[in-house]
Amino acid sequence: MRVTRAVVVMLIAIIVAIGDAHAAASGQSIHFDQANKVFRLDAAKVTYAFGVDDKGRLQSLYWGPRLDASDRLPPAVTPPKADGIDGDINRVRQEYSGWGGGLYYEPGVKITFPDGNRDLELHYQSYSIKGDTLYVALKDIERAIVVTLEYEMDAGTGIVRRSATISNQTATPVVIEQANAATWFLPRSRDYTLRFLSGRWAGENDINERPVQPGKTVLESRRGTTGMQNEPWFAVRRNDADETHGQVWFGALAWSGSWQIAIEQDQVEQVRISGGFNPFDFGYKLAPGASLSTPSFYAGVATDGLGEASRLMHRLELTKILPQAPAPRVRPVLYNSWEATGFKVDEPGQIALAEKAASIGVERFVMDDGWFGARNSDKAGLGDWVVNQQKFPHGLKPLIDRVHALGMDFGLWVEPEMVNPDSDLYRAHPDWVLYMNGRPRTEGRNQLVLNLARADVRAYVYNALDKLLSENDIAFLKWDYNRSWSEPGWPAVAPDEQKNVYVDFIRNYYGILQELRKKHPNVEIESCSSGGGRIDLGVMHLTDEVWTSDNTDAFDRLRIQDGFTQAWTPAVMMAWVTDSPTWVNSRTLSLEYRFLSSMQGSLGIGADLNKWQPQDFATARRLVAEYKAIRKTVQQGSLYRLVSPQNGSEQSATESVSPDRAHAVLFAFLHSSTENYPYPTVHLQGLDANAKYRIHAIAGTFDPRTPLVASGAYWMHAGIDLLMRGDFQAAAVVFDKE
Ligand code: DGJ
């Protein structure tokens, strides 16, 4: 029979008709092509597809720019035999694999059964669609282990959320030794560069790049917490992609415990990116009938470079992740007393600072460490959440009342998961910490980690915070966490259940945050961990902002903030203006420079206001008012990193554009003038080319010949010349649509 074009079209129509299509009101669509056994998700500018192969394995088929609705993805098939040495399983692009059948790459899940079997091969069983989520069930070829994969595509960004739930439907307990949320496959190519973030205390968010080559790069935390040594984020770009052009695949994990993201290129040059619980020291004992859910792993595709990849992440965070999503309130300007007072807090001292803070337009006054128990240094008191009577003889009420009378709300520092051995709590409950019988209890910052996986510890922490929030009019908690784990034992449970602490601790941490938010819906929370040690999409779902770094040197911050915004939105990036010279580098910076550096995120003041002169208050009052006028654009707009501060650059510049493109703000910095070179012309991005924008400078000056009103096209192509000379100069210019 001659197959005519009309017959082909008819056949396609029949196949589409027997497929299951689901187009959600949200704008994403999920489609199952039953004939080819292909699942396809579409949203925004992205298509994601996978299929069931002839053996029943789930295979990745496509992840990239959106395909035409009429495009049919061919079915998944077992790859042709290559050599007899490596089992075929290693060539299959498995969406989610059990460790079994001779697999040499990162598996989705690895399990040890009580009879010693450790082989697991997952085959497709069924699927269902509930709301915007596609559920795909896989089952081992022999044992009653069922893994349910979740897929959800964000309509606004095309970012896919994946996670897996492993159910033990056998009659015996099993131990899960590895559990990833997802494996993502990139298109077959040798042409990739990995970008990732690394750091240390006071030096977060270094940007690193390395070619993707045969072998594996592991980004991870083994610390029980997110950590700042790697951020749980990756980006892989085509080698020719840069900040503004080219294809980028990127993603981030929603988990605040030990995590791992592995980027592997196998021997046939397939690139796999897997992420989930860190398998190091992992061993989750799962009772019969019980299940374990992995964290969610979010990942997306950008076609306009690393800048667009970041903007997509920011949009996801603002509209889907943050507790107030899709419309977070703007962050208030806050004052924090830490750098001014250290542990020496008391009622008159805090009131004096609050009065000065209010005079410059601060909206939230936060008292940091030192207000409770015997907390006069970091050596004692942690765990005893009772107000220190010497420092606050009448409790916190007089301070809070004064703060309110000054027109601000009140915030308080806590570090609920920690205990100093020199505390009433530890003296009463030495077994409440993470420890191993008979072994040393290694201290960090003179403190031990409470075992939040224990029900009694969870109750203590929740009750202490609930009491604090119920008895005091507190609008904000700065929730700190100042050390990583050591000796992560849990002697109160059976030896083979102790490693469950890696999961149960974090689930209880999230549970406490959830319950507190529910009971005290107006309280906002900041995630802090010796600076930026606990920033991930998991904690971001339950907190309103994060502390970026203990390094508040405004020049160092340009680089730290540039790294931060690769993954995280400026809306949550807390940035304080502190004293000069800074404790970090003894570097002297003008107050205006310090303000402009901090105004690129969520503005705070952390300076000792008792040392300020009248002109400092005047500068601060003016810039706080300017910030309030632009903050919605800065916090919730689209960020364009125009000039990078990395690699010893002498300049840097960022631009934020409001979602409706009616407003934009340019921040520009000069490290040091050399050889009389002028500041390079700055070309704006993301404006409406046909609209007219009027400009005014918040700080610094531009060339007097610059038109005050010009088109978006003019600002993007002709640009703006800023007049900056000398060392550590800064300028900020606002663009408003006429
Ligand atoms: C570490 C934080 O990062 C600081 O901002 C401060 O809150 C101290 N802890 C207090 O101990």
Write the pLDDT tens digit of every residue in 578-605.
999 999 999 999 999 999 999 999 999 9
Q: How far is the CA of 263 from the centre of ligand 1 (A)?
A: 34
pLDDT at 47: 98
In the predicted structure, residue 449 carries a pLDDT above the cut 60: yes
pLDDT at 8: 37
514, 450 contact by CB (below 8 A): no
- Range 26-52 burial, b when 16+ CB lie within 10 A, else e: eebbbbbbeebbbbbbbbbbbbbbbbb
Give yes or no for residue 204 CB within 6 A of ligand 1. no
Residue 528 pLDDT class (50, 70, 90 cuts)? very high
Share the mean pLDDT of the chain: 96
29, 43 contact by CB (below 8 A): yes
540, 547 contact by CB (below 8 A): no
Residue 712 pLDDT class (50, 70, 90 cuts)? very high
Joined together, the tokens standing for residue 632 give 């919605």
What confidence tens digit (pLDDT) does each residue in 215-268 have? 999 999 999 999 999 999 999 999 999 999 999 999 999 999 999 999 999 988
What confidence tens digit (pLDDT) does each residue in 85-94 have? 888 899 999 9
Residue in this structure with the two tokens 């992995």, named with its chain if needed: 294
Active site residue 480: yes
CA-to-CA dists, residue 410 to 44, 110, 262, 290, angstroms:
41, 48, 42, 43
Q: Is 170 left (phi over 0), alpha (psi -120 to 50) or beta?
A: beta
Q: How far is the CA of 142 from the centre of ligand 1 (A)?
A: 52
In the predicted structure, residue 194 carries a pLDDT above the cut 60: yes
Give yes or no for residue 526 CB within 6 A of ligand 1. no
Residue range 182-201: mean pLDDT, rounded: 97
Q: How far is the CA of 591 from the centre of ligand 1 (A)?
A: 23
Percent of the chain with pLDDT over 90: 94
Residue 10 pLDDT class (50, 70, 90 cuts)? very low
What confidence tens digit (pLDDT) does each residue in 534-572 have? 999 999 999 999 999 999 999 999 999 999 999 999 999
Report which residue type is found at 307: G
Q: How far is the CA of 701 from the centre of ligand 1 (A)?
A: 36
In the predicted structure, residue 196 carries a pLDDT above the cut 80: yes
In the predicted structure, residue 685 carries a pLDDT above the cut 50: yes
pLDDT at 114: 98
Give yes or no for residue 530 CB within 6 A of ligand 1. yes
pLDDT at 115: 98
Q: How far is the CA of 477 from the centre of ligand 1 (A)?
A: 13
Residue 6 pLDDT class (50, 70, 90 cuts)? very low
In the predicted structure, residue 500 carries a pLDDT above the cut 70: yes
CA-to-CA dists, residue 516 to 186, 349, 427, 464, 525, angstroms:
40, 30, 27, 11, 10
In the predicted structure, residue 15 carries a pLDDT above the cut 70: no
What confidence tens digit (pLDDT) does each residue in 359-378 have? 999 999 999 999 999 999 99
Give yes or no for residue 626 CB within 6 A of ligand 1. no
pLDDT at 23: 60
Closest CA relative to residue 292, chosen from 435, 396, 181, 127: 181
In the predicted structure, residue 14 carries a pLDDT above the cut 90: no
pLDDT at 80: 85
Strand 573-577 and strand 545-547: pairing? Answer: parallel
pLDDT at 83: 78
Q: In what order do the strands lie in the sheet with 29-33?
A: 20-23, 29-33, 38-43, 46-52, 58-65
C-alpha dihedral sign at 702, 706, 708, 712 = negative
Query: pTM of this prediction?
Result: 0.96
What confidence tens digit (pLDDT) does each residue in 407-432 have? 999 999 999 999 999 999 999 999 99
Q: Which atom of ligand 1 is the closest one to the Cα of 413?
A: 7
Percent of the chain with pLDDT over 70: 96
Q: Which atom of ligand 1 is the closest one to the Cα of 550?
A: 3
Q: How far is the CA of 339 from the centre of ligand 1 (A)?
A: 9
Residue 512 pLDDT class (50, 70, 90 cuts)? very high
Q: Among residues 42, 132, 140, 550, which one is catalytic?
A: 550
Substitution candidate for ligand 1 out of 547, 552, 560, 583 with most atoms within 8 A of CB: 547
pLDDT at 1: 33
493 burial (CB, 10 Å; 0-12 / 13-18 / 19+) is middle
Write the residue with the smallest CA distance to atom 3 of ligand 1. Answer: 530
CA-to-CA dists, residue 305 to 185, 239, 501, 582, angstroms:
19, 11, 40, 35
What confidence tens digit (pLDDT) does each residue in 306-348 have? 999 999 999 999 999 999 999 999 999 999 999 999 999 999 9
Give yes or no for residue 546 CB within 6 A of ligand 1. no
243, 644 contact by CB (below 8 A): yes
419, 426 contact by CB (below 8 A): yes
148, 137 contact by CB (below 8 A): yes
Within 10 angstroms of residue 394's Cβ, the number of other Cβ atoms is: 10
C-alpha dihedral sign at 598, 603, 609, 615 = positive
Give yes or no for residue 528 CB within 6 A of ligand 1. yes
Residues written for the chain: 738
Q: Rounded to an integer, what distance in angstroms lies between the CA atom of residue 530 and that of residue 196? A: 21
19 burial (CB, 10 Å; 0-12 / 13-18 / 19+) is middle
Taking the mean position of all CA atoms in its chain, how far away is CA 165? Answer: 22
What confidence tens digit (pLDDT) does each residue in 102-158 have? 999 999 999 999 999 999 999 999 999 999 999 999 999 999 999 999 999 999 999
633, 662 contact by CB (below 8 A): no
78 burial (CB, 10 Å; 0-12 / 13-18 / 19+) is middle
Q: Rounded to an integer, what distance in angstroms lies between the CA atom of residue 618 and that of residue 624? A: 10
Q: Among residues 480, 504, 544, 562, which one is catalytic?
A: 480
Residue 81 pLDDT class (50, 70, 90 cuts)? confident
